[in-house]
Structure 1
Amino acid sequence: MRYPCVEISLDKIKHNTREIVELCKRNNINVTGVTKVFCGEPKIAKTMVEGGVQILADSRIENLIKLKEINVPKMLLRLPMISQADEVIKYSDISLNSELNTIKELSKKAVEQNKEHKIILMVDLGDLREGIFDEEEIFFVVSEILKLDGIKLIGIGTNLTCYGGVIPKYENLSKLVKIKMNIEKKFNIELDIISGGNSSSLYLLKAGEMPKKINQLRLGESIVLGRETAYGESIENTYDDCFKLIVEIIEIKEKPSVPIGEIGMDAFGNKPKFIDKGIMKRAICAIGKQDVDLGDIIPYDKNIEILGESSDHLILDITKCEKNYEIGDNVEFKLTYGGILKVMTSEYVKKNFV
């Protein structure tokens, strides 16, 4: 076995997907499965489809290209770049948009490719990331979209918590519902989708506070970690360990806990601080900041203390461990969402499916 590696349980991912899809289905909500945290890995994406997601979504065209053989609609989550308009039309069926000039370029490329590209118009409800903030601007953009060939407006959506940390509530999501109804009335059209955000919106289902006309959620973290992201609460009957990081020990030595000599900057320009705990048994593992941040890994062995990282080394205090670790032994870690993202992105971390 090659290390470091991330061990991925497809069975647990499928189980989580089924549980969450069923939860949403009971509330008349369709699930779009977000693949960006695992870089569009097709094996995991297929597992999500087997679990019941109806659309696959990613922020990067490069990942959607990996998914082109999976026979479900693909959604581009991040607002399209004009420079990638041709690829957006080629590799995605739906995209989230807020800029009229970009939509016009998508229209042009859709006509050239003889395709109809569907868009969801993004509305900013206060989180201050993507989306149109002013309702009059929304109406203007809709009026212009309806003039375009090759483009079909299928709904409106929003994103919350990712930048500003704004929590989805009945009140702010109800504004999205009202805007949708106003658009339909003003332009005498029907919009099929109100995309009510991401995994942070899931807690509203348990609370019974999701506005009834919200009919789509874009879910990634809730599937891979079994939790909603507004308050970080676990979702009943789901797993939080679908991804496990395994690293190899390359050195074990007893050394002081404080470096000897004048302390300057470390490899990343920071001046480190140390607490004198005397001589400790230290293990070095073959992984580093290039692969994962130490704040995103949690040792399964509760007696291990993470001391720090350099680019290629993870340094652990194993003084209090009951297990007698030796050179070549493995150390296992749970991963946060950010940890999954980093190790799946790193080409130096092997991906093992179980």
Structure 2
Amino acid sequence: MHYPLLKIHTQAIRHNIRAILQKLNQWQLRAVAITKGFCADLPLVKLFLEEGITCFGDSNPGNLLKIKHTFSTRNSDLQLYLIRLPMSSEIQLIVDNNIVPFVSNFESLQLLNHAAYKVGKFQKVILAVEGGDAREGFLEEEILGNFNFKALKYVDIVGLGTTLACLNGVLPDLDIVTRLVALKKQLEEKLDKELTLSVGGTTFLELWEGEPLPRGVDEIRMGEAFLFGHDISRKKAFSWLNQDAFEVVAEIVEVKRKQPLWGKARGFDAFGKTSAFLLSGEEKERALVAIGKQDVDENQLYPEDKNVTIIGATSNYLVLDVSKSSQNYKPGDTLSFRAGYGAVLRAFLSPYVSKIYF
């Protein structure tokens, strides 16, 4: 078997999808599966489709095209969201492929309108709304201002979308949801049509679990809950979901007792940072594992052996303290790690990590 590898446990993910859909059905909400965390890898997309999810969102148009070209002929209700604001160079691709973009400026709306006019079709869009995290989105006063949305004859505004807890960690609450629902109603009156209110990401689940919310939110976009059963913005694992769907396995290439040269001048590491682990100068039995920052985010790896500690990582090594482990590790042995979002994302991006579905 070729190491390092990423094991994907599909039954754990299937359980999460079913459990979430059951709750969303009770709350009268639609699910949008965000695929950027696994680069829209087709076996996983197929799993979501098998469980009845037909709307997918991604920040990379290439991932959306991969989904469309593979599954659209068998799924006529397939819907694709570009959840990252579109670049002007992507406008024609979006129109040609019926991708629904999130848009936060009038210039992009006008470009989409012109591109749709040229090919004689209507282009669906979702207006991104600033919800409080100070990232992307129209301000409320812009949406309710003097801009004539109806003048965009070939743009079909189908909804409002907001995202929280991505940049500044601002969490959604009842006040934010109430304000978004009110904005939706005002825009519906302005456009004389019904709209979808789409919220993201996983952090919004907490609200429906905790208290009654005003009607008006229509869908939740999420990836983390489906894949990891976790809400990183609240440091919370959902007790009713699986957290062990992804496992990284890597091979040990060295085990030795090592001690930094205490008293020697120290600079920065290869990534321009200092390492707090070296300050003690302690001698430790260290294991070098053949996987590094180019393959995973070491901050979201959790050793299966609870007596192993991650000291740090370089481009191509993970450095472990195995001094307290009861295992007599040696080169050629493998170690397993439960993997979180950042580690899985980077593993899917790395051509050096094998991916195996179970």
In structure 1, C-alpha distance between the alignment counterparts of 2:121 and 2:15, rounded to whole Å: 35
Instruction: Spell out, residue by residue over 1:49-69, the C-alpha distance to the aligned partner (whole angstroms, 9 max, x if none).
Output: 222323011011121122112
The equivalent residue for 2:42 is: 42
Q: What amino acid does structure 1 have at the position aligned with 2:112?
A: L
Which residue of 101, 106, 114 maps to 2:107? 101
Matched with 2:14 is 14
- The AA in structure 1 aligned to 2:122 is E
Supply the distance in 2 between the matched residues of 1:117 and 1:144 (Cα, whole angstroms).
Answer: 17
Per the alignment, residue 158 of structure 2 pairs with 154
Check the 8 A contact 2:140/2:183 in 1, yes or no. Answer: no
2:143 corresponding residue in structure 1: 138
Aligned position for 1:307: 311
1:250 aligns with 2:256: no
Matched letter for residue 49 of structure 2: V
Aligned to 2:52: 52
Once the two structures are superposed, residues 246-304 of structure 1 have per-residue CA deviations (whole angstroms, 9 ceiling, x without a partner) of 11111112233556843233222234341446443211111111222321211110111
Residue of structure 2 equivalent to 1:220: 223
CA contact (8 A) 1:19 1:237 kept: yes
Alpha carbons of structure 1 residues 44 and 249: separation in structure 2 relative to 1, 3 Å:
same
The yes-or-no answer on 1:205 pairing with 2:208 is yes
The answer as to whether partners of 1:160 and 1:197 remain within 8 angstroms in 2 is: yes
Picking from 89, 94, 107, the partner of 1:88 is 94
User: Contact 1:254/1:279 (CA < 8 Å) preserved in 2?
Assistant: yes
d(CA) in 1 for partners of 2:230, 2:296: 21
Worse-matched range after superposition: 233-242 or 261-270 = 261-270
Aligned partner of 1:241 in structure 2 is: 244
1:92/1:42 Cα in 2 relative to 1: closer, same or farther (>3 Å)? farther
Does residue 111 (structure 1) correspond to residue 117 (structure 2)? The answer is yes
Amino acid in the other structure paired with 1:320? K
Is 2:293 the counterpart of 1:283?
A: no
Superimposed CA distance per residue, residues 83-105 of structure 1 (whole angstroms, 9 cap, x where no aligned partner): 11111223343111111111121
Task: Give the equivalent residue in structure 1 for 2:343.
Answer: 339
With normalisation by structure 2, the TM-score equals: 0.92
Cα pair distance change 1:50/1:319, threshold 3 Å: same
Structure 1: 5+ residue runs without aligned partners?
none
Give the stretch that moved more between structures: 20-29 or 147-156: 147-156
String of CA shifts for 1:119-168, please: whole Å, max 9, x gaps.
11111122111111132x10347x53322233211111211111121111
Correspondence 1:350 to 2:345 = no
Instruction: Give secondary structure in 1 for the equivalent of 2:163.
Output: coil
Matched position secondary structure for 2:336: strand
8 Å contact from structure 1 (residues 118, 152) kept in 2: yes
Does residue 329 (structure 1) correspond to residue 340 (structure 2)? The answer is no
Measure how far apart 1:13 and its partner are.
Answer: 1.2
Greater Cα offset, 103-112 or 259-268: 259-268
Shift of the alpha carbon at 1:110? 2.4
Whether 1:263 and 2:266 are equivalent positions in the alignment is: yes
1:25-51 deviation per Cα after TM superposition (whole angstroms, max 9, x unaligned)? 111100000001111111111112222
Deviation at 1:3, TM superposition (A): 0.9
Q: Which shifted more, 225-234 or 28-37?
A: 225-234
Call closer, same or farther: CA 1:270–1:165 in 2, change over 3 Å.
closer
In structure 1, C-alpha distance between the alignment counterparts of 2:228 and 2:198, rounded to whole Å = 21
Match of residue 320 from structure 1 = 324
After TM superposition, the structure 1 stretch with the greater mean CA deviation from structure 2, 260-269 or 213-222, is 260-269
The percentage of counterpart residues that share the same residue type is 33
Q: Using the alignment, how far apart are the partners of 2:274 and 2:191 within structure 1? A: 60
Cα deviation, residue 329, structure 1: 1.1
- Supply the AA of the counterpart residue of 1:243: F
Superposed CA RMSD in Å reads 1.9
Is 1:126 equivalent to 2:129 in the alignment?
Answer: no
Instruction: Tell me how many residue pairs correspond in the alignment.
Output: 351
Amino acid at match of 1:223: F
Contact 1:76 1:94 in 2 (8 A): yes
1:190 equivalent to 2:223? Answer no
| 2:128–2:161 contact (8 Å) kept in structure 1 | yes
